[in-house]
Amino acid sequence: MSQTSTNSEILEFKNVSFGYTEDKMILKHVNLKFSQGKTYALVGPTGGGKSTTAGLMVRLYDPNHGTIEFKNKDIRSYEPAELSKGIGFILQEPFLFTGTVAQNIAYGNPDFEVVGEAELAMFLEAEGLSKLLERFEHGLKTEVSDNSENISLGQKQLVAFMRILLRKPELLIMDEATANIDTVTEQYLNEIISKLPKETTKVVIAHRLNTIKDADEIVFINNGIVKPAMTFDQAIHLIDSSKRSS
C-alpha cells in the first residue's frame, strides 16, 4: 500500500488485535492506514474478518489490543454523536424503527430531526437524493411498521443511504450496501456517491468483482491477517487461494 503523509490519514489501525474471546483473535497485530479521499475495498472469504474490521472502524466494539485513530485521535476519545457525524456506516441489513420514512431518514441527525417533511424534501432534492423517494408508495410519508416488515430490504437500504449521505460523512463505510437494490437504482446511487466531496474516504466491503475494480486500493483480510493486494489480479488470486484452503 502506498505511503502517505500523516496529515492525509483519516483513520489508522495501530497494532490492533481483536477477538470476541482472548483465546481466538479474529484480527492479529493489524497496522492499516486509510487516506483521505481514497476508495478502499476490503476483500476476503466469508468469516475472514471484513465486517469485524468495519465494525471496529465505527466503534461497534473496541480492540482488545492496540489503538484505532480517527483524524489522529484515539477513536475512543470521541463522543458518539461526533463520531456518527464523521463516519457513516451503511449495513447490508440496516436498522429502521416504527414511524415514517422521513423520521427514519432524520434519525440521529440534529440538523434534520426538527425540520418538517417539506423542508426535508427540499434538502433531499438539493443533494440529488429525492429520486430515491419514488421507490416508496407515499414518499416521505410512507409508514414503516414494527420490524419494518411492510417495506423491502432494498427500500431499507435506500433509507439508510439517504440518512447517511445527508450527513456528508468524512468516512463512508458500506457493507454490501447495495446487495438488495435493483441495478438501475444501484447505478443511480453510485452516481450520487461519486459526487461526494473529493475528500470523502470510502471503504467498501466487497463481495462482487466490479466493486474491487473501482477501488484505489484493495485490502485482503483472512485468518486474522490483513495485507494489501497491490493489483486486481492479485486480489482475485488471494480470494481463490483462500477458498481452496478453507
Distance of CA 127 to the CA centre of its chain: 19
- For position 30, which CATH number holds? 3.40.50.300
Q: At 118, which amino acid appears? A: A
pLDDT of residue 75: 97
* pLDDT over 70, % of the chain: 93
Residue 150 is assigned to a structural domain of this protein: yes
pLDDT of residue 184: 81
Residue 160 is assigned to a structural domain of this protein: yes
Which residues sit opposite 173 in a β-bridge? Answer: 89, 203
**Structural domain count of the chain:** 1
pLDDT along the chain (246 residues), means of 10: 56 95 88 94 86 93 96 95 91 86 90 87 91 92 85 88 91 83 82 88 81 85 82 78 62
What would you measure as the largest C-alpha separation in the chain, in angstroms? 55
Distance of CA 220 to the CA centre of its chain: 17
pLDDT of residue 187: 82
pLDDT of residue 207: 67
pLDDT of residue 142: 95
pLDDT of residue 30: 94
Residue 1 is assigned to a structural domain of this protein: no
Q: At 14, which amino acid appears? A: K
pLDDT of residue 157: 87
Residue 131 is assigned to a structural domain of this protein: yes
What DSSP line would sit under 110-154, residue for residue?
TTTTTS-HHHHHHHHHHTT-GGGGGGSTTGGG-EE-GGGTTS-HH
Full residue range of the structural domain in which residue 215 is found: 6-245
* Three cell numbers, residue 145: 411498521
* Three cell numbers, residue 124: 433531499
pLDDT of residue 208: 67
pLDDT of residue 245: 54
Residue 87 is assigned to a structural domain of this protein: yes
pLDDT of residue 88: 93
Residues 205 and 53: their CA atoms lie apart, in Å, by 10
